[in-house]
Every structure is written in structure tokens, then in C-alpha cells.
């Protein structure tokens, strides 16, 4: 692929394109900072980075309306930030502080936020899918125009919960958008070792769910797919399935020695990474130059530094609070 980068299509608004790019850079830099904080010991436990997959979450969130819900996985820092959970409280959560969005109880894998209907942060693979279906059921029973955006990895499609959830959502024609982030690996298990039918859309279609596959490295493509899905579900056409083809540039978690793939394979994908290709297109369209890039990087770096400072200055949730939130306080 030595072709010159294509400029943006004429119908794409320049400001908007730059905003998409900025969001992706923001997620990337945040994740890099998390890795750094992990090596310093400020973040512990499992940490799953979204580096390489930023175009997927960024594209999806453009169509997520305020009344919608997002149900995500343990690789959800990006989704949380893109959904609008303030960076400060996300970082503080990973530091295990009281100021964190879950008061230090959840950590990296379990970010939740009521205000934005961000319903986790689920680390049981496939565990969020029935929840998304149920949220959509409530919305449809209550006559609300809310869509449940259910984000999961391709590995989850082997679980029974995927099949049971798809069937239920289709049977009851519920407004769920199933967003499969296909990064071609589930920990060390490559897609072709996990699925007998690797054309994932076929699985969705077998449940009579509208399904499409898109290039998850191209933020304009992911955005357009999410828009089609939103229009379809909001107009009462039942669930929608999108396979976003992407790639994870980093290890599965900080415990992964990456024995199942070679450096060259990762490098090849990095060359076509979502930030790199979109930056080139913005440049080709005259929307981005070194100076603008430096300015947006500086702004993001400042936000991240402030988030780290906020998290560092936070209070460890007092041990005396340990048993709170096991039951709802109003009812005890």
C-alpha cells in the first residue's frame, strides 16, 4: 500500500473530521498514560488497552444519543471517555480512589456511569449482552426512544450468551445495536481457531438480524455504519449487528507475553493504524499540519496530566466504607 493518501470525500465536514481525529488521539494518549501508570504501580490488576481500535469506539459514539445506553467490556476506557465520562474520574477509578467513577471498587475493567447510561465495564466475556437486550426491552416497553449499544469482542460470539441474546433481541424486535469489535484474537486464540464460520455477519443473519461488516480502522466507515444502525433500530426495525474489523496493537493485558503472534504481524497492522491513516487523509485535505497537530497533542497532554494529578491527589476509599453498596442504602 504505497498509494498516496486519499483526501476526504467532499461531503465530510472538515471541522467534524478534525474532531473525530482529536477524539481518537485523546483515547490513544490516555491509554499510553495508563500503561505508564501501570508500570509505575499506580494502576494494578488487569489492564486492557484499546490502542489500535480507537476508530471503532469513536465512530460508534457519534450516533449514541443521550438517552441511549452503552454496555461494554473490560476493554472499555476508550468507550467511557468517548461517551463523555470525565477523564479525571476514569483515571481516579483506576487509581482506586474515592473520586473514581465507582469509588475505587471497579477499577479498569468495571467503569460505570449512571449519568451517561454507561452500564459497565463487564469482565465476564459475553456477560453484558443479555443486559443490553433487557435495557432495550425496558425502553421498548416504556415507549422510549433509547437504543442499547452492546459492545463486545469477537471472542464473545462463541459464548452461548451471544446466541441467546441475538435470538431474543430479534424475536422481540428490540432496539439493540450489537457492535462486534473483531480484533481477530481472543487473548491468544485467533478467530479461525475459535469460529467454524468466520464470516461473523452470517451468524447474525441466521437470526434474521440486519448485519454488515466494516473497516474498523477507518473512522469515517465506522461512523457511517453506526449511523445506519441507529437509523434502522430507532425506526423500529429491530436489532442490528455490525462487525468492525480492527486490530489490537498491544498485548491482551499486562500479563500477556504475546506468544501467539509475531512482531511483524503487529507491525503490519500498525502501518495501517487508525490514527496514522486518518492523519494522512486530513493532511491530504489540508485540514491538518504539524502545527495543528502539535497544538491538539498539547491540549490532550494537558488534560491527561491534569487527570493524573487529580487521581494522585484523590483519597483512597476508606476501609470503613468497605461494606457500602452491597445493598441499596435507601432500603436497608
Nearer to Mg ion, 187 or 309 (CB): 187
Residue of minimal Cβ distance to ligand TPP? 153
Scanning 74-82, 179-187, 238-246, 291-299 for contacts with Mg ion by CB under 5 A, the matching segment is: 179-187
Does 44 contact other proteins by CB under 8 A?
Answer: yes
Cell output for 142: 416504556
User: Applying CB under 8 A, what is the total number of residues that bind other proteins?
Assistant: 43
Residue 216, contacted partner among ligand TPP, other proteins, Mg ion, none, CB below 5-8 A by kind: none
Using CB under 8 A, which of 4, 257, 271, 332 touches other proteins?
A: 257
Q: Shortest distance, CB of residue 197 to Mg ion, whole angstroms?
A: 16
Does 73 contact Mg ion by CB under 5 A?
Answer: no
**Residues contributing to the site for ligand TPP (CB under 6 A):** 75, 123-125, 153-156, 181, 183, 185-187, 252
Using CB under 5 A, which of 63, 183, 222, 246 touches Mg ion?
A: 183
Nearer to Mg ion, 70 or 186 (CB): 186
Does 126 contact Mg ion by CB under 5 A?
Answer: no
Q: Shortest distance, CB of residue 144 to ligand TPP, whole angstroms?
A: 29
Residue 75, contacted partner among ligand TPP, Mg ion, other proteins, none, CB below 5-8 A by kind: ligand TPP
Which parts of this chain interact with Mg ion (CB under 5 A)? 153-155, 183, 186
Which parts of this chain interact with other proteins (CB under 8 A)? 44-46, 96-97, 104-110, 122-127, 155-156, 158-161, 186-190, 193-195, 256-257, 259-260, 316-317, 319, 321-323, 326
Amino acid at each position: 500500500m504505497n498509494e498516496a493518501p486519499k483526501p476526504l470525500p467532499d461531503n465530510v465536514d472538515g471541522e467534524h473530521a478534525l474532531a473525530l481525529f482529536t477524539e481518537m488521539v485523546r483515547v490513544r494518549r490516555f491509554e499510553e498514560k495508563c500503561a505508564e501508570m501501570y508500570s509505575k504501580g499506580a494502576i494494578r490488576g488487569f489492564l486492557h488497552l484499546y490502542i489500535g481500535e480507537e476508530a471503532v469506539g469513536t465512530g460508534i459514539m457519534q450516533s449514541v444519543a443521550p438517552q441511549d445506553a452503552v454496555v461494554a467490556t473490560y476493554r472499555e476506557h476508550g468507550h467511557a471517555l468517548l461517551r463523555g465520562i470525565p477523564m479525571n474520574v476514569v483515571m481516579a477509578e483506576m487509581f482506586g480512589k474515592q473520586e473514581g467513577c465507582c469509588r475505587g471498587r471497579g477499577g479498569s475493567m468495571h467503569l460505570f456511569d449512571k449519568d451517561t447510561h454507561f452500564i459497565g465495564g463487564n469482565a465476564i466475556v459475553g456477560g453484558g449482552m443479555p443486559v443490553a437486550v433487557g435495557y432495550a426491552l425496558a425502553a421498548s416497553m416504556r415507549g422510549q426512544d433509547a437504543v442499547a449499544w452492546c459492545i463486545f469482542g469477537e471472542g464473545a460470539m462463541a459464548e452461548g450468551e451471544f446466541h441467546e441474546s441475538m435470538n431474543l433481541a430479534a424475536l422481540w424486535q428490540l432496539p439493540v445495536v450489537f457492535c462486534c469489535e473483531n480484533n481477530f484474537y481472543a487473548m491468544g486464540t485467533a478467530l479461525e481457531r475459535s469460529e467454524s464460520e468466520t464470516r461473523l455477519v452470517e451468524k447474525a443473519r441466521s437470526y434474521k438480524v440486519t448485519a454488515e461488516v466494516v473497516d474498523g480502522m477507518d473512522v469515517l466507515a465506522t461512523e457511517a455504519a453506526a449511523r445506519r444502525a441507529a437509523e434502522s433500530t430507532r425506526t423500529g426495525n429491530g436489532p442490528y449487528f455490525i462487525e468492525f474489523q480492527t486490530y489490537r496493537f498491544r498485548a491482551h493485558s499486562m500479563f500477556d507475553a504475546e506468544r501467539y503472534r509475531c512482531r511483524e504481524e503487529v507491525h503490519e497492522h500498525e502501518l495501517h493504524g487508525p490514527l496514522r491513516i486518518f492523519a494522512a487523509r486530513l493532511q491530504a485535505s489540508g485540514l491538518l499540519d504539524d502545527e495543528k497537530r502539535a497544538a491538539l497533542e498539547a491540549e490532550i497532554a494537558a488534560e491527561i496530566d491534569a487527570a493524573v494529578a487529580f487521581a494522585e491527589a484523590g483519597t483512597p476509599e476508606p476501609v470503613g466504607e468497605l461494606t457500602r453498596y452491597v445493598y441499596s442504602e435507601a432500603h436497608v
